[in-house]
Amino acid sequence: MDFTPAVGDMPFTPQQRSLLSLANELGRSRFAPRAAQWDREASFPFANYSDLRDAGLLAMCVPHQSGGLGADYATYMMVAAEIGRFCGVTSLTWNMHICSTMWTGMLADGISMTQEQRAEHERRREMHFARVVKEGAIYAQPFSEGSAAAAGRAPFGTTARKVEGGWLVNGRKIFASLAGAANYYGVLCTEDKGDAHPDVRDTLYLAVPATSEGFAIAGEWDPLGMRGTVSRNLTFKDVFVSDDEQLMPRGIYFKGAQTWPAMFFTLAPTYLGIANAAYDFTVSYLRGEVPGEPPVKRRMYPTKQVSVAQMRIQLETMKALFVRAIQEAQPNPPKDVRMRLYAAQYAVMEGANDICRLAIRTCGGQSMMRHLPLERLYRDSRCGSLMLPWTAELVLDRMGRETLYEPGEKDE
Ligand SMILES: Cc1cc2nc3c(=O)[nH]c(=O)nc-3n(C[C@H](O)[C@H](O)[C@H](O)COP(=O)(O)OP(=O)(O)OC[C@H]3O[C@@H](n4cnc5c(N)ncnc54)[C@H](O)[C@@H]3O)c2cc1C
């Protein structure tokens, strides 16, 4: 490799080397030059998705035996950081799509199921994988509802009632990245069993085809950052989906979320990529080497040298935690591993915005003009620590509580 990946240099597998090189090449030559357009128009990066599809990257985490590239969790996390370095919205939305294949693929493989459930799941997921591999289908992941549900603290308000041959879905989702671009929306909802006490253990994970009757996309989309994600609202009014659209058997999503906390860390690589981009920009700006800009050097000022050193230290801390967390990701992690995972999430999500803030302060006023990427990186980086279920606030909340209380412990 003739570049240092966003995660830093480390002993990569041959597949990781080749995918990182591919991501770097696509990012450098295609995604970076287009990034300002999606941001300006708040439009979806369709052109980048054509490139991802042609390169086989939509099926990157579909298992080999189902026609995909069979990349594992750590490989995905590294490649997503590399893409995030060139286009945050492409990396973030690709995360929603890739996770739809990881939850049904390797994650589901690590969750205990009855033989019957396993057989049903393996049959159904082949249909979803084939859509991605053969048709280049895109899956979105709309979980959020503006309630405590996406934080894992309450049942989803969107419901699915069992009917002959499938499910009737009703409800509303907010912030659905890929709205209007996805072919399928992987919706989390609560099984409506007709009683008055919905239960998080009855969470269902269903793929709603974009063409379904009763499905609609609504609302404006004009946010501060991550504008190209086009995360609009979705409404479901008596939407029928067939049984085979179940992305996981009944009750298994809840188990999966308990078993695999590292799956909630998958939004972080985008922001590690953004932090790298802000740092790289700062170095070339201070050296007077940004293409198209006057070759003014600003590197001789001790204050700027100190700032760059601070940025590098923060970036290295983020990378070290990130790499450790992706290497030790596992089902049912021991407490220490879980704590490091939370720490990694917090460090990356808050750190990305911190590095962008320092980058603007250090480079100075002319660096925040719209024709340069820094102000977009700054706005995009602000979104990271707001994303559920592991917002910066909720991570602090979990870490503090889980450090001081062992499972089941109470004060009186
Ligand atoms: C660019 C972008 C893209 C996104 N894409 C997606 C997507 O594709 N799919 C998706 O599902 N979501 C997506 N989201 C949404 C995101 O994950 C959050 O759901 C959203 O930012 C929450 O906004 P809010 O104003 O409701 O947040 P908040 O009000 O901060 O939190 C939401 C709810 O969680 C609960 N909550 C918050 N803090 C706590 C706490 N400490 N303890 C208990 N409960 C708490 C509260 O009930 C609160 O109403 C995206 C967000 C952004 C910014």
- Concatenating the DSSP letter of every residue in 120-135 gives HHHHHHHHHHHHHHHH
Yes or no: say if 278 and 381 are a contact pair by the CB < 8 Å rule. yes
Cβ atoms of 131 and 122 within 8 Å: the answer is no
User: What is the pLDDT, as a whole number, of residue 110?
Assistant: 86
400 lines ligand 1 (CB under 6 A): no
Ligand 1: nearest atom to the Cα of 146: 26
CA dihedral of residues 173, 175, 177, 182 (deg, nearest 10): 20
Q: How far apart are CA 183 and CA 128, in angstroms?
A: 11
Residue 320, C-beta contacts closer than 8 angstroms, at least 6 positions apart: none
- Counting atoms of ligand 1 from 1, which one is nearest the CA of 188? 11
Quick one: pLDDT at residue 196?
78
Ligand 1 atom at minimal distance to the Cα of residue 140: 8
Cα(188) to centroid(ligand 1), Å: 14
Whole-number Å distance, alpha carbon 389 to ligand 1 midpoint, is: 7
What pLDDT, on the 0 to 100 scale, is given for residue 256? 92
Q: What is the pLDDT of residue 323?
A: 98
13: which residues sit within 8 A by CB, 6+ positions away? 75
Residues 6+ apart with CB under 8 A from 76: 60, 61, 98, 102, 266
pLDDT score, position 197? 85
Q: What is the distance in A from the centroid of ligand 1 to the CA of 124?
A: 30
Assess whether the C-beta atom of 229 lies below 6 angstroms from ligand 1.
Answer: yes
Q: Does ligand 1 have an atom closer than 6 angstroms to the CB of 386?
A: yes
pTM: 0.97
CA of 217 to the centre of ligand 1 (A): 19
Tens digit of each residue's pLDDT, the chain (412 residues): 899 999 999 999 999 999 999 999 999 999 999 999 999 999 999 999 999 999 999 999 999 999 999 999 999 999 999 999 999 999 999 999 999 999 999 889 989 899 999 999 999 999 999 999 999 999 999 999 998 888 888 999 999 999 999 999 999 999 999 999 999 999 999 999 987 788 999 999 999 999 999 999 999 999 999 999 999 999 999 999 999 999 999 999 999 999 999 999 999 999 999 999 999 999 999 999 999 999 999 999 999 999 999 999 999 999 999 999 999 999 999 999 999 999 999 999 999 999 999 999 999 999 999 999 999 999 999 999 999 999 999 999 999 999 999 989 999 7
Can you tell me which atom of ligand 1 is nearest the CA of 389? 17
Residue 57 Cβ inside 6 Å of ligand 1? The answer reads: no
Cα 402 to averaged position of ligand 1 atoms, centre (Å):
21
Is the CB of 388 inside a 6 Å radius of any atom of ligand 1?
yes
pLDDT at res. 96? 98
Give the integer Cα–Cα distance in Å for 385 and 379.
Answer: 12
Helical ranges in 85-184 per DSSP H? 88-102, 108-109, 115-135
Q: What is the pLDDT of residue 115?
A: 96
End-to-end Cα distance, the chain: 58
**Ligand 1 in reach of 165 Cβ (< 6 A):** no
C-alpha 298 to ligand 1 mean position (Å)? 40
The token pair at 124 is: 């159904």
* Segment 168-208, tens digit of pLDDT: 999 999 999 999 999 999 999 999 998 778 899 999 999 99
Residue 395 is predicted with a pLDDT of: 98
Ligand 1 geometric centre to CA of 203 (Å): 18
Q: What is the CA(339)–ligand 1 centre distance, in A?
A: 22
Residue 152: predicted pLDDT: 83
